[in-house]
Structure 1
Amino acid sequence: MKNLFKPLIAFAVVATTFTACMDKGDDIDYEGQALAEERRFDSVLNSQRNAIQAYVAAEFTNPVTDTTSINLPRLGKKVTRGMYYEILSAPSNNTYEYKYSGSGFVVPTVKLKYSVSTLSKTVVQSDATGGTYTLNYNNAAFSFVWLYSFYPYSISYNGNQVKIDQLGGLTKDGLKTGSKFRVISPSIWTETNASSSTIPANQPLVYEFEVISIE
């Protein structure tokens, strides 16, 4: 089994944490740090937008724009995640259900093929034969792109809609057996905390997933 998703702190959570810490009365400029993080976030999206849109126009057949909204309160604006995706093949088996247990998301085990490439089509990571992965985002070295690609936009639990990483997945139902899926993402969502990762920093990346089975 291979684990995915080493702990990363989502931008929205970081901003909330900075705000909460400001009430402690220490000398650290949490507000300044939060403002700097918002500026960095916004700058990355702006600097990579044209290249991503050009790639989508040239390489995607039926692109879908991710419209998930992220609030940047210190900059007085809202932005989207900057991601585009394309469903290359619908699931051949739609029976798997993503679930939330109250203590967290129920983690699926997936057999899949995947590749990660730069906009120049250089493959930087792949599994062409089909490995088995435990999609536990608390314990591995893959990025938020995996999280947003696999999990559905929201999951119903006790009358509420629960979203993975507070922002939610890209699609209504998430990836299932037979799904073939391609997504392009700005680097804000592609970087990992794994020291051995082959994922390059500060570059938009294209991910392709082919789900052989999920349970």
Structure 2
Amino acid sequence: MKNLFTTGTICLVAALTFASCAKDDNNDDLYEQYRQQELRIDSILNAQKAEIEAYVTTNLSEAEPDSIYYPFSYIDKRTKRGIWYLYEPGDNEEEDYKYTINSTATNYVFPTVKLTYTAKLLDGTPVESEEAGTFNFSVGFSAFNDAWFLSFFPYSIRYNAQDYVVGGLTENGLQAGDKITVVTPSVLAYGSVKKTGGEADIPADSPLVYEFEVLEIE
């Protein structure tokens, strides 16, 4: 199955692409910089694994683990992305919204969604929420991070008789009426950056719990 892009943090993917070029140019210092970055991400994923699993055991016993591995390029390691999720499909009998790729097969056609969502820390502290808000994934929104994209987009998208892996958590992507609860490690949320401006500050390197309910999608 062909990969449309490598999942993980979007900025990291771009950085790793640049790092690969740098390695070809024998820029050992820059290559080592990105190797160390991968080591740090691997360390965080492993450090947060037990904490996330303990939360799931106590609060989301029916949740299931994501099976995809983080896209490391410079360390000899395979580590799962560490997401757990509980998907509750709505009453729609078939896909109302088709996730597609544009004519160049390099970008998504981004959906516009009306939804209610909340985000909280593992200790239950609410940090973000929106009631029946309208969002478009092609327009900048400070709350968008990889956890959002992985929640909404399907595992793969069909284009020109080929399957392009995008790494979403569900087979068809979220549809109107669907609900999903996602427990994500910090590297797929806000990473090592402290997030301010919401209902409460999100400390750096904080796993988050998202609850999404899709009201409409187009």
Q: State if a TM-score over 0.5 links the two structures.
A: yes
Task: Tell me which residue corresponds to 1:154.
Answer: 156
- State whether structure 2 residue 125 is matched by structure 1 residue 139: no
Task: Tell me which residue corresponds to 1:4.
Answer: none
CA 1:150–1:76 in structure 2 vs 1: closer, same or farther (change >3 Å)?
same
CA displacement at 1:194 relative to structure 2: 9.7
CA displacement at 1:17 relative to structure 2: 2.4
Task: Tell me which residue corresponds to 1:99.
Answer: 100
Q: How many residues end up aligned between the 2 structures?
A: 201
C-alpha distance in structure 1 between counterparts of 2:109 and 2:215, whole Å: 19
Contact 1:178 1:210 in 2 (8 A): yes
Contact 2:178 2:213 in 1 (8 A): yes
Q: Cα deviations across residues 28-77 of structure 1 (Å, max 9, x unaligned)? A: 61221121011111011011111100000111132111111234343311
CA 1:207–1:34 in structure 2 vs 1: closer, same or farther (change >3 Å)?
same
CA displacement at 1:197 relative to structure 2: 4.9
CA displacement at 1:91 relative to structure 2: 2.3
C-alpha distance in structure 1 between counterparts of 2:195 and 2:59, whole Å: 31
CA displacement at 1:25 relative to structure 2: 4.7
Report runs of 4+ in structure 1 exceeding 4 Å deviation: 192-197
* Paired residues for 1:189-208 under 5 Å: 189-191=188-190, 197-198=197-198, 199-208=202-211
Q: Greater relative contact order: 1 or 2 (C-alpha under 8 angstroms, separation 6 or more)?
A: 1
TM-score by length of 2: 0.84
Contact 2:10 2:146 in 1 (8 A): no
Partner AA of 1:146 in structure 2: W
Aligned sequence identity (%): 35
Q: Cα deviations across residues 53-108 of structure 1 (Å, max 9, x unaligned)? A: 00001111321111112343433111111100001x31223321111113421111
TM-score by length of 1: 0.85
Task: Tell me which residue corresponds to 1:184.
Answer: 183
Q: Which secondary structure does the structure 2 equivalent of 1:79 belong to?
A: coil
- Structure 2, unpaired ranges of 5+: 1-8
C-alpha distance in structure 1 between counterparts of 2:189 and 2:70, whole Å: 17
Q: Which secondary structure does the structure 1 equivalent of 2:79 belong to?
A: strand
Q: Which secondary structure does the structure 1 equivalent of 2:114 belong to?
A: strand
CA displacement at 1:10 relative to structure 2: 4.5
* Paired residues for 1:44-55 under 5 Å: 44-55=44-55
C-alpha distance in structure 2 between counterparts of 1:102 and 1:200, whole Å: 40
